[in-house]
Amino acid sequence: MQYLLIIYSDEAERDPATLQEITAAHMRLGAELQETGAMVGGNRLKPSDTATTIRTTGGVQSLHDGPYAETREQLAGYYLIEAADLDAAVAWGRKIPGGANYAIEVRPIWPLG
């Protein structure tokens, strides 16, 4: 089964040295996911101020700069993995680096077909 491991962190807490350490740790985790065959895909995201949101209200669409919601934590990136079950997906999620304060959401993929 596939799971999306969604990474949330506070962009204000990212200093260059910490970001470099976290990036190196992500590269190691990515290699481990590849070696075990668990990696389906993944990417980091540019900062939330580069986002554009398409919002639909009452059937009318409008464009907005920035992320969908104003929060302390922003969507920073994701891994799409293959795991036997939720416990295995959570085990991978626990390995994701992110600094002092961050959250990982583990969500099963619901195929369309």
- Residue ranges per domain, the chain? 2-108
Among residues 48, 30, 49, the alpha carbon closest in space to that of 40 is found at: 30
**Tens digits of pLDDT across the chain (113 residues):** 999 999 999 888 878 898 899 999 999 999 999 999 999 999 999 988 888 888 899 999 998 887 666 567 788 999 999 999 999 999 999 999 988 889 999 999 999 98
Percent of the chain scored above 70 by pLDDT? 95
Strand partners of residue 62: 55
* Residue 97 · residue 22 · CB < 8 Å: yes
Asked if CATH classification 3.30.70.1060 holds for the domain at 2-108, the reply, yes or no, is yes
* Residue 9 · residue 73 · CB < 8 Å: yes
For residue 81, the number of C-alpha atoms closer than 13 Å in the C-beta half-sphere is 30
pTM over 0.85: yes
Stated as kind and residue range, the H or E segment containing 104 is strand 102-108
